[in-house]
Amino acid sequence: MSLLLGWVIFVAALLISIMLHEFGHFATAKKFRMKVTQFFVGFGQTLWSTTRGETEYGVKVLPFGGFVKITGMTALEDIDPADEARSFRRQPGWQRAIVLAAGSFMHFALAFVLLIVLAIGVGLANDNSTRIGTVASCVPASVSALDQGSCAHSTGEAPARQAGIRAGDQIIAIAGKPVHNWTQLGSAIRAQPAGKTLAITVLRDGRRLVLHADPARVPGRTGSYLGIENAVQYQRLSPLRSVSYAGSTFGEVLTGSAAAVGHLPAAIPDLFAKDRANTPAGQVSSVVGVGGLTAQIVAAKDSWRVKVGYVLLIIISLNIFVGAFNLLPLLPLDGGHLAVVIYERARAGLARLRGRPDPGLVDMRKLVPLSVGVFAVLVGFGLLLITADIFNPIHFVQ
């Protein structure tokens, strides 16, 4: 049931993002008095629609996107001569540019607002200390059981529990080597040989203790397993600090999204690798993979703050990535159409300087093969990612 709830949350968030994207195009086109004939969420067969004024609003059967139909988007479209004055192609370049960029702007605005909500309403987690929050009771039988906190078919008691590690202990060394944060601690544990006795130095009530554990293996998971989770503390930020946090985090996610796109070619060979999560392919996913990850988080045995925080970050990251990707200067993306408008205006300005007439609109017929080619590549890569996420999914591991 929790997995289903996670999927419902993700699909609802995705549909809201799509609606906001299309509303950006719709609202700005209406503002500039362009004629908008359709506003739909989804593709395929129409499930429901209603007409208000000159615009038909509706929902289609496949919830994988949406569209706003603005009259005269390109020179190729035949329209009623009576509508030509209100067509998209006859409006000033700056107005067309705003309409085209408005979809991505709505993704960015939603992400920014959700970052503020995260900072004020949920709080920011300080989860990098080596203080123990909980100790698992068993060694899960699989990665799926680990995600769900299940002890069904367990292979034995968790090594940390056997060693006597308690909630509130602070681990300061693994095998005699100091660890100063959770990242170092996790790496040190995963690097240890399974089944070989390991010395763990902890601080408990101001006393230093050396405990001994035999790390285990969880089938399907890379590295050794001890069965500990860190103690997480949350701090809510003031409105002013939350805006600063939203701005800096937005920039970090945007930079990370650009890096992820750059790593796409290197990711392809590892999409079906056994250790996909530890390769560049672990950084890319389709909507199916992201939806599955959201479902795993909702189903995990964690506090509401942990779940809400992770889910919000997924939605935020998805919107920033989609907003930025959509602005790439590739047809049929909005960024491709925006590039055409910029080219038209630059060409018109150059013609004006030479005392020549405005060359007018770009002949889109010459760009149709390029647009079809890019679309085919995007669809093909999307299907490849979906296949990988179905047959070789990335699991959520804290």
DSSP state of 138: B
**Phi and psi, residue 206, nearest 5°:** 80, -5
Task: Report whether 59 contacts 49 (CB < 8 A).
Answer: yes
- Across 106-110, 133-137, 155-159, 262-266, least confident range: 262-266
pLDDT, tens digit, 9 for 90 and up, residues 48-88: 999 999 999 999 988 778 899 999 988 888 899 999 999 99
The helix-helix angle for 2-31 and 93-117 (nearest 10°) equals 150
Q: Give the whole-angstrom CA distance, residue 269 versus residue 264.
A: 10
Measuring CA to CA, how many Å separate 233 from each of 127, 202, 306? 7, 20, 10
Note every long-range contact of 248-254, with CB atoms under 8 Å and residues 24 or more positions apart, other chains counting: 249/115, 250/108, 250/111, 250/112, 250/115, 250/320, 253/111, 253/316, 253/317, 253/320, 253/321, 254/320, 254/324
Task: Give the DSSP H/E element, type plus range, for residue 141.
Answer: none
Quick one: pLDDT band at residue 24, thresholds 50, 70, 90?
Answer: very high
Query: Quick check: is 84 catalytic?
Result: no
Question: Which pair of tokens denotes residue 82?
Answer: 């009576």
Tell the residue number behind the tokens 């990335």, with chain if given.
Answer: 394
Pairing state between β 198-204 and 207-213: antiparallel
What is the distance, to the nearest Å, from the Cα of residue 220 to the centroid of all Cα atoms in its chain? 24
This prediction's pTM: 0.78
Interval 107-113 mean pLDDT: 97
Q: Give the whole-angstrom CA distance, residue 87 versus residue 83.
A: 6
- Residue 126, amino acid: N
Q: Give the whole-angstrom CA distance, residue 17 versus residue 313.
A: 14
Render 332-377 in DSSP notation, one character per residue: TSHHHHHHHHHHHHHHHHHHHHTT-----S--GGGTHHHHHHHHHH
User: What pairs with residue 318 in β-bridges?
Assistant: none
Task: Report whether 241 contacts 249 (CB < 8 A).
Answer: no
- The answer on pLDDT for 149 being more than 80 is no
Please report the pLDDT score of residue 396 as a whole number.
Answer: 59
- The answer on pLDDT for 39 being more than 90 is yes
Question: Which pair of tokens denotes residue 180?
Answer: 């100063």
Active-site entry in 22, 56, 77, 229: 22
pLDDT, tens digit, 9 for 90 and up, residues 337-386: 999 999 999 999 999 999 999 898 888 888 889 889 988 988 898 899 89
Render 290-306 in DSSP notation, one character per residue: HHHHHHHHHHSS--HHH
Please report the pLDDT score of residue 325 as a whole number.
Answer: 92
pLDDT, tens digit, 9 for 90 and up, residues 158-210: 999 999 999 989 999 999 999 998 889 989 999 999 989 999 999 999 999 99
- Across 14-18, 99-103, 144-148, 355-359, least confident range: 144-148
Task: Tally Cβ neighbours within 10 Å of residue 381.
Answer: 14
- Residue 266, amino acid: A
Quick one: pLDDT band at residue 255, thresholds 50, 70, 90?
Answer: very high
pLDDT, tens digit, 9 for 90 and up, residues 273-282: 887 877 777 7
- The answer on pLDDT for 260 being more than 80 is no
Q: What is the mean pLDDT of the chain?
A: 90
| Domains of the chain and CATH, by start | 132-231 (2.30.42.10)
Task: Give the DSSP H/E element, type plus range, for residue 368.
Answer: helix 368-391
Please report the pLDDT score of residue 398 as a whole number.
Answer: 47
pLDDT, tens digit, 9 for 90 and up, residues 302-313: 778 888 999 999
Report the chain's terminal Cα–Cα distance, integer Å: 21
SS3 65: strand
Please report the pLDDT score of residue 195 as a whole number.
Answer: 87
